[in-house]
Structure 1
Amino acid sequence: MRVVVAPDTFKGTWPAERAAADIARGWRSVRPHDAVAEIPQADGGEGTLPGVLAAVAGAELRSAGPVTGPAGHPVAGVWLDLGDGTALCELAVVAGMHLMPTPDALRATSRGLGEVMAHALDAGATRLVVALGGSASTDGGLPVLEALGDRRPPARGVAVLCDVRAPLLGPDGAAAVFGPQKGATPLEVVALEARLEQVAARLGADPTVPGAGAAGGVGYALLAWGATLVEGAPEVARLTGLAAAGGDADLVITGEGRFDAQSRLGKVAGHALASFPRVAVIAGEVAEDPGVWSVSLTSLAGSREAAMGQPSRWLEEAGAAAARAWEERGPRAFVPAG
C-alpha cells in the first residue's frame, strides 16, 4: 500500500515536517510494510518556506543579508533556491507578526519582503514564488515595490501564494478583517482603509481580485507589479510533488490545527479532499465533519491542553488510528463525498 502523509503546520504547536514524521511513524507501527512518503505542506502562508525546503530534494536556503524587519529593525533575509531558476520568498520570515515587539498595525512595514525578492532577482532567479500570510503590516505593499525599484517580474513570471481570498478594500478587505488581528483599534482600521484606498488610486489595479487583501495589501501591490495571485495550497502541492504523488497513492493523510468550514476555502486539508481519491484528516480539533475518516488530537488526548502539551505523542497515535481504521473499515471510509 502507498500512503502519502501531507499535513499542514499545526499552528502554534508543531511544524508540518515534524507532524508528517510523527503521523508516518504511527502508521508504520501498525502497518510496517507499507510504502509511506512524507510530504509536508503549507497553504501559502506562514511555514511555506520550511515546508517546501523539507519536501524538495536539492532545495537550498540563500542569504539575502540583513533586511528591514516589520518594526524597522534589521532581520535576517533568506529565500529558497529550488534549483530550476525558481526562488521562493516568504513574507512571514522577514515581515511576520512574530517579529514585532508589540503589534503596531499603522507603522509595521512589508519592505523586507521586497528586499529579499530583489536579492533573488539579482542572483539570477527566472521565476519567483512569493508566499504571503502572517504579516504584521497593512501598508498596501508600497514598501515592497519601493524596495524592488525598477526591477520587473522575471521571464518565467511571479506566482503569489495567497492563504486568504480577501479583496483589498471594504468590509471583507485587508483593514476591516485583518487589521484588528494586527492590533489596530477601530479608529486605526478607518485610517488603514483610507491608506489602502490611496494605494488603489495610485497603482490602478483591480482591488476586488481575490487575494488582493492578502498580507495587508501586499497581494494587491504585487498584482499591480505584474504578478499572478494564486491559491497557495495547490501551488505548494505542485512544488513539493504532492500533486503527482497524491494521485497515485492509495491514501493521502492530511492535517492541520483545526478543521472547520474555513478549511475548504484554500487550506491544505480542503485541497486534499478536493483533489485525491482517498483522504484521512487528522486535526487538533475537528469542528466540522470532513466527510471522510478523521480524528481529533483533542479527543485522543482527552483535552486541548493535553494534546498541545504532547503533540508528537498524539500525532503518532493518530497515525496509528488511521492505519487501524483502514484495516477495520476499508478504503470506502476514506473516499470524499462528491
Structure 2
Amino acid sequence: MNIFVAPDKFRGSLEAEEVCNAIREGILLAFPEANVTTFPLADGGEGTAQILTRQSGGTQVTARVSDPLGRKIEASYGLSPDKKVAFIEMAAASGLKLLAQSERNPALTTTFGTGELISDALDKGVEKIILGIGGSATTDGGIGLAAALGYRFFDQKDKQLPHDGQSLNLINRIDTSHVDPRVYNFSIDVACDVSNPLFGQNGAAYIYGPQKGADPETVEKLDQGLQNLAKVAAITFGKDHSDVPGAGAAGGLGAGCMWFLNATLKDGISIVIGQGNVIELVKNADLVITGEGKIDEQTLSGKVVKGLADYCRKYDVPLAAVCGTLAISPGQSRDAGITYAVSVLNRPMDLETAQHEAFGLVRDATFQLVRLFFQKSRPDIS
C-alpha cells in the first residue's frame, strides 16, 4: 500500500519536513507495512525557496542586504546545481518576521532588500529566478525592489523619492534610464499564494495592511498610493496589471514584479509541484495525506491542500488532510476534493500548548485516520 505524504508547514510550530516526519510516524504506527513517500510542500509563502532548493539538489548562498527598515542583515537564497536558477524568498530580506511588533509599519518598510537579493543572484550568472513572495512586511508596490535594480521615482517637483509605502502617493514619474541592463535578460516566475488585486477593498492595503501594522488611516493612504502607482506605471510601461489575480500579493509586489521585471505570476503550489515528481507520486498512491496549520476558505483558493486536492481528484486518489484548525464545512471539504479532513486537537487547549505538542498531535491524528482508512478498505488488517 503506497501512501504519499505532502503537507505544508504548521505556522509557528512545525516546518513542512517536520510535519512529514510526524505523519510518517503515525502511518507506521497504524500500518507498519505501508510504503511511505514524503514530500514537503509550500505555496509561495515562507519556506518555498528552501523546499525548491532541496528538491533541485541545489545549495544555499548568503548575501548582505537591507531589511524592511534598511538595516543590514544576512539573507540566504538557493541556487540550482548548475547555478542557472535562483530560488529567492522575499521574506528573507523583506519579511514581517524580521521586525519587532513595535517596528511594523508598511508606510515605512521597503522591498529594497529583495531587489538586492535579485541583484546578487544576477551577479552569480543566473538566467532564471523563482521568487516566493509570502510573509512580507511591506506595502510598497515593489518600488523598493525596483530601486535596488536602478529604477528611480520622482514627485511632481522632480524630486527623487524614497522607496517605501508612504512615497506611493507622491510618484509622478518613473525613470528607467539607470536600470540594470541585466533586468531585461533573465526570466522570473513569481510564486504567490493569494489572488488579490492591487488595490480596492480586496486589495493589498485593506486586506493585509492591518497585519503589517497599518491603522485605518494608513491603510486608506496606502490604497490610494497603490492606485497612484498603477496609474503612473501603466503610462510608463503601457500595461495595467492592477487587476491581475495576485497583483496585490506581498503589498503589491506581485504587480510590481510584472511592471519592473516583466515577471509571470504563478500559483505557488503549482510551481512547487511542477519542480518535482509530485504528480507521478499522486498517481501511484493509494492514499495521499496533506495538511497545514489552518484549513479555511483561503485554503480553497490556491493553498497547498487545494492544489493537491485538484490532482487527487483528477487521478481518483483519496486525499486526507490534517490541520490545527478546521474551519470549512463538510460541503466545502467535499467540493474541494478532500476525502477526509480532521483537526489534530484532541482536547481543549490554548495555542501555546497546541504548538508545543504539535508533533505528537499530528502523529496521533494520522494514526487514527490511517487505521480508519485501512480498516475500511482492507478488512483483513487488524
TM-score (norm 1): 0.92
The two structures, once aligned, show a CA RMSD in angstroms of 1.7
Distance 2:110 2:17 in 1: 29
- Distance in 1, matches of 2:14 and 2:48, equals 14
Measured in 1, the distance between the counterparts of 2:185 and 2:358 equals 41
Which residue, 370, 373, 378 being the options, matches 1:323? 370
Q: Is residue 2:326 matched to residue 1:286?
A: yes
Q: Provide, for residues 11-65 of structure 1, a one-character-per-residue CA deviation record: whole Å limited to 9, x for no partner.
A: 12211110111111110122222221111111101221233344x15221112x2
Compared CA separation, residues 44 and 301, structure 1 to 2 (3 A) = same
Partner of 2:105: 104
Residue 132 (structure 2) pairs with residue 143 (structure 1) = no
Give 1:248's match in structure 2, choosing from 274, 281, 284.
284
Q: Deviations over 1:187-214 (max 9, x none)?
A: 1112211221222123213211011111
Alignment of 1:43-82 (within 5 A): 43-54=43-54, 56=55, 58-63=57-62, 65-82=63-80
Residue 335 of structure 1 aligns with which residue?
A: none
Quote the sequence identity (%). Answer: 34
Which of 258, 273, 296 matches 1:260? 296
User: What SS does the corresponding residue of 2:73 show, helix, strand or coil?
Assistant: strand
Distance 1:69 1:202 in 2: 27
| Contact 1:121–1:154 under 8 Å retained in 2 | no
Preserved contact between residue 4 and residue 37 of structure 1 (Cα < 8 Å): yes
How far 1:153 moved relative to its partner? 4.8
1:31 corresponding residue in structure 2:
31
Corresponding residue SS for 1:152: helix
The change in CA–CA distance for 1:179 and 1:193 in structure 2 (over 3 A counts) is same
Look up the equivalent residue of 1:273 and give its one-letter code.
A
> Is the radius of gyration larger for structure 1 or structure 2?
2
- The 1:162/1:98 distance shift into structure 2, 3 A limit, reads same
Counterparts of 1:1-338 in structure 2, within 5 Å, are 1-54=1-54, 56=55, 58-63=57-62, 65-84=63-82, 85-101=84-100, 102-149=103-150, 150=180, 151-155=182-186, 157-204=187-234, 205-224=240-259, 225-276=261-312, 277-288=317-328, 289=330, 290-291=333-334, 292-298=339-345, 300-305=346-351, 306-330=353-377
Stretch deviating more after TM superposition (226-235 or 198-207): 198-207
Is the 8 Å Cα contact of residues 131 and 232 (structure 1) preserved in structure 2? yes
Contact kept, 8 Å, 1:26 with 1:320, in 2: the verdict is: yes
**Structure 1 residue 100 displacement after superposition:** 1.2
Residues 201-255 of structure 1: CA deviation (Å, up to 9, x unaligned): 2321321101111101111111112100011111111224323322222221100
Query: For residues 40 and 202 of structure 2, what CA distance do their matches in structure 1 show?
Result: 30
SS at match of 1:62: strand
Number of equivalences: 327
Q: C-alpha distance in 2, partners of 1:136/1:29?
A: 41
Which residue does the alignment assign to 2:172?
Answer: none
Any stretches of 5+ residues in structure 1 without a counterpart? 332-338
- TM-score, normalised via structure 2 length: 0.82
- The secondary structure found in structure 2 opposite 1:171 is coil
Residues 67-97 of structure 1 deviation map (CA, whole Å, 9 limit, x = unaligned):
0101211121221112252211001111111
Rounded Cα–Cα distance in structure 2 between residues aligned with 1:33 and 1:93: 40
In structure 1, the partner of 2:162 is none
Partner of residue 157, structure 2:
none
Query: 4+ residue runs of structure 1 moved beyond 6 angstroms?
Result: none
Report SS of the residue matched to 1:197. Answer: helix
Contact 1:5 1:252 in 2 (8 A): yes
- Would you say the 8 A contact 1:22–1:312 is kept in 2? yes
Q: What is the CA distance between 1:302 and its match in structure 2?
A: 4.2
Deviations 1:106-133, CA, capped at 9 Å, x for gaps: 1011111111111112211121100011
- Opposite residue 109 of structure 2, the aligned amino acid is A
Question: Which amino acid counterpart does residue 310 of structure 1 have in structure 2?
Answer: E
* Structure 2 unaligned regions, length at least 5: 151-179, 235-239
